[in-house]
A and B are shown apart, each in its own frame.
Chain A
Amino acid sequence: MKWVSILFPAIGVFMFQFLLVDFLSLNMIRPDFLVVYVFYISLVYGKTTGIFTGFLLGLLSDLSGVGSFFGLSPLSLSVTAYLTGYLNGKYERMLPYLFHGAWISIIGFHFIIISYVRFQNILLSDPISFWIKCFMSFSYTMMFLLIIQFFYPVKEASHAEIN
């Protein structure tokens, strides 16, 4: 039952990312809903489920079409899931600003990995442009993640494990 409730939304999120994210593209930067989903799954269900989901969604994402660095998405999403797993059920036990700082940093780290690999040329030739690009990708996804906070805050997700 648990896997069904993860699998169907995962397919939905992937299809949304695959088919409709082009419409949300701004200056060739697109929001990454896969990282948002993997983040919530890890927060609710913990590391193991998160890593599985992240790896499989990343693999699907790369199989759907990527020029080079096939395997980068499974890697970054697995790392995100693993790190987010540490926040599972921790909201009550951590200072709120520390908790929020931690999950924002994890999402940021995901984009640093992606940008570091994909924009390594820019990092070498113009580090400021690199960080701007990295920050833009991060902020665009964060914008959607912050909107989601109105419907399903991370503090709720952190202690909402369904057995």
Chain B
Amino acid sequence: MRKFYLALLRYKDHFIFLIAVTLSLTLLLKNDAPDILIIRGKFTDYFSIISSPFSWVKSMIVLQEETELIRQKNIQLTLELEALLLAQEENNILRDFLRFKRESNLKLLAARVVNMGASSNLSSITLDIGSDHGVKVNQPVIVPEGVIGKTVVVGNKSTIVQIIKDVNYRLSVRILPSGNAGILQFISDDICEVRELQKNTEISIGNKVVTSGFSQIYPKNLPVGEVVEVLNERGSFQKIAKVRIKSKLSTLLNVFIVIEESNEVG
């Protein structure tokens, strides 16, 4: 016993290192354990309280710039609106003719981004709403440009969102108009890859990419991005499409959480 104690004292650096590495690896391997998620949720609440004044200051800084952009966009949108109203009218008539109906309506919850994590690479964002507002784990998070992630840790008043740029993020998507389905994963900057695509279908640059609806998390037809490159390797049974996501993830201020999808059967 004494020898063991002496050895422990002598090699304490190595023992402490071993304990630290073991604990870290245990945490890494138990990422989805309920206890860990509860602790992370609690801490997220505390950290969001600390960071909210800073996010307010940050939003004030970008507010002026954003107002100018919004003014420009407002003029553009006013012009576009006229054209769109005409298009919508025409669309409505055509839809009536074809007896189309909207398949789903989404119930959205607006949230403010209060933090983007402390790690050196952006993989998550923290929102200022949590379970008190009706948020649950595994709910899609979107912006007008498209899907940006899903909720992974939910505290009472804050939520961590795993964004599309996280290495573990996968999204079942469909490429329109061919309807070919595949699995989307992030590669770098704003480029993602869609794999598992059938080789014999036609995919062109500029094709729209939307959610497939196969997953239990994402409703179908949410916009994701558009195809910028198609890789058709000889000898491979599948095609790979490179997709550019439209959302600017590094400058997110507000997002929506899809809390419900009410299906209309008709």
One digit per residue, 1 when the CB lies within 8 angstroms of any chain B CB and 0 when it does not, for chain A 61-84 equals: 111111111111111001100100
Contact A65 B21 (CB under 8 A): no
Categorize the interface residue count of chain B: 35 or more
Chain A residue, CB-CB nearest to B44: A65
Contact A78 B17 (CB under 8 A): yes
Contact A65 B116 (CB under 8 A): yes
Complex CA distance for A2 and B39, rounded to whole angstroms: 29
User: Can you list 6 A-B pairs with a CB-CB distance of less than 8 A?
Assistant: A22-B58, A25-B122, A29-B121, A66-B124, A69-B31, A78-B20
The residue from B16, B36, B54 contacting A20, defined by CB atoms under 8 A apart: B54
Contact A51 B16 (CB under 8 A): yes
Contacts of B211 in A (CB 8 A): none
Contact A30 B121 (CB under 8 A): yes
Residues of A in contact (CB 8 Å), total: 61
Contact A22 B20 (CB under 8 A): no
Contact B119 A71 (CB under 8 A): no
Number of interchain pairs (Cβ within 8 Å): 167
Contacts of A18 in B (CB 8 A): 47, 50-51, 115, 118
Judge if A141 is at the interface, Cβ distance under 8 Å. yes
Judge if A37 is at the interface, Cβ distance under 8 Å. no
Closest Cβ–Cβ distance, residue A99 to chain B (whole Å): 20
Judge if A52 is at the interface, Cβ distance under 8 Å. yes
One digit per residue, 1 when the CB lies within 8 angstroms of any chain B CB and 0 when it does not, for chain A 97-126 equals: 000000000000001001101111110011
Given the known A-B contacts A64-B47, A66-B119, are A71 and B28 also in contact in the complex, defined by CB atoms under 8 Å? yes
Judge if B135 is at the interface, Cβ distance under 8 Å. no
Judge if B25 is at the interface, Cβ distance under 8 Å. yes
One digit per residue, 1 when the CB lies within 8 angstroms of any chain A CB and 0 when it does not, for chain B 22-62 equals: 01111111010000100110011001001100100010000
Give the most central of A34, A61, A65, A78: most B CB within 10 Å: A65
Complex CA distance for A61 and B120, rounded to whole angstroms: 10
Judge if A28 is at the interface, Cβ distance under 8 Å. yes
The residue from A28, A70, A119 contacting B40, defined by CB atoms under 8 A apart: A70
Contact B28 A122 (CB under 8 A): no
Give the most central of B20, B31, B120, B250: most A CB within 10 Å: B120
Task: Show the binding face of B for A, using Cβ within 8 Å.
Answer: 12-13, 16-17, 20-21, 23-29, 31, 36, 39-40, 43-44, 47, 50-51, 54, 58, 115-126, 149, 152, 160-163, 165-169, 185-189, 193, 249-250
Contact B187 A126 (CB under 8 A): yes
Given the known A-B contacts A34-B118, A117-B167, are A125 and B187 also in contact in the complex, defined by CB atoms under 8 Å? yes
Contact A125 B193 (CB under 8 A): yes
Give the most central of B36, B121, B122, B166: most A CB within 10 Å: B121
The residue from A17, A64, A68, A85 contacting B167, defined by CB atoms under 8 A apart: A68
Contact B116 A126 (CB under 8 A): no
Contacts of B44 in A (CB 8 A): 63-65
Contact A70 B43 (CB under 8 A): no
Contact A75 B28 (CB under 8 A): yes
Judge if A31 is at the interface, Cβ distance under 8 Å. yes
Contacts of A114 in B (CB 8 A): 119-121
Contacts of A120 in B (CB 8 A): 167
A61-B119, A65-B44, A126-B187 known; 15 new pairs, CB 8 Å cut-off, are: A14-B118, A25-B250, A46-B13, A47-B16, A48-B12, A62-B27, A64-B44, A66-B119, A67-B152, A67-B162, A68-B168, A69-B31, A72-B28, A82-B20, A121-B187
